[in-house]
A and B are shown apart, each in its own frame.
Chain A
């Protein structure tokens, strides 16, 4: 079965600290996509990144970076020099080739304190 685990329920950091959000996924498909979304208090999910199963290159976008490792089935997300505006719930999601659409992890609530 397809599954996404985000073991960290809540994380609190002080502004300017670096923080890593963990995501571990399970799938037997060889073709799949992984996503990260941010959900601020307003409720709307904001797309952050998409990565396919054949592309293990890490990616950096400004203060955000992602580390995809198929060997450990992980797709971790790091925010460098966190800011108060980064406070939100972050979801990791998996989409595979057959059957249901997306499966989301339970989310990690990040609080960045001033």
Chain B
């Protein structure tokens, strides 16, 4: 079974631009979560989508948004990029959106904002 895939793997943007990252979950998985990883803040939860609905949201500004499609694929958008948005963005999928579910992570998209 193919794992979680994320595109693109690397991205360079400038301040003020916007960016869209894509995540394809493991086949059959309906929940997709997004995380931001930086050296200073570590791994932080952004949001979770299940059945095209946002289920949980972390403490990030409204510039960070996402959506999920009927095939469970998810996109994350960051508008008006800031230097501090430079990070590794990780997507994780699980079968369902429940406490006991294990999340399986993709390789991440490394975003650099100049």
In the complex, what distance in Å separates the CA atom of A90 from the CA atom of B10? 23
By the criterion of a CB under 8 Å from any partner CB, how many residues of chain A are at the interface? Answer: 26
Which residues from chain B contact A103 at a C-beta distance below 8 Å? 45
Given A33-B99, A95-B99, A43-B108 contact (CB < 8 Å):
yes
Contact of A107 among B35, B42, B110 (CB under 8 A): B42
B99 touches A102 (CB 8 A): no
Within 8 A of B (CB), among A85-100: 91, 95-97, 99-100
Which residues from chain A contact B25 at a C-beta distance below 8 Å? none
In the complex, what distance in Å separates the CA atom of A104 from the CA atom of B20? 25
In the complex, what distance in Å separates the CA atom of A102 from the CA atom of B48? 10
Given A104-B43, A106-B42, A107-B42, A47-B104 contact (CB < 8 Å):
yes
- How far, in Å, is A81 (CB) from chain B's closest CB? 26
Within 8 A of A (CB), among B74-114: 88, 90, 92, 99-100, 102-108, 110
In the complex, what distance in Å separates the CA atom of A105 from the CA atom of B44? 10
Which residues from chain A contact B105 at a C-beta distance below 8 Å? 37, 44-47
Given A33-B99, A44-B106, A47-B103, A100-B42 contact (CB < 8 Å):
no
- Tell yes or no: A31 within 8 A of B by CB: yes
Within 8 A of B (CB), among A49-91: 50, 52, 91
Query: Please, which residue of chain B has its CB at the minimum distance from the CB of A99?
Result: B56
- Tell yes or no: B8 within 8 A of A by CB: no
- How far, in Å, is B99 (CB) from chain A's closest CB? 6
Which residues from chain A contact B68 at a C-beta distance below 8 Å? none
In the complex, what distance in Å separates the CA atom of A37 from the CA atom of B104? 10
Encoded as 1 (CB less than 8 Å from any A CB) or 0, chain B from 46 to 59 comes to: 00100000001010
A-B residue pairs in contact (CB < 8 Å), sample of 7: A43-B110, A44-B105, A44-B108, A47-B105, A99-B56, A101-B58, A103-B45
Nearest 7 A/B pairs, CB to CB: A45-B105, A104-B43, A44-B107, A101-B45, A43-B108, A106-B42, A101-B56
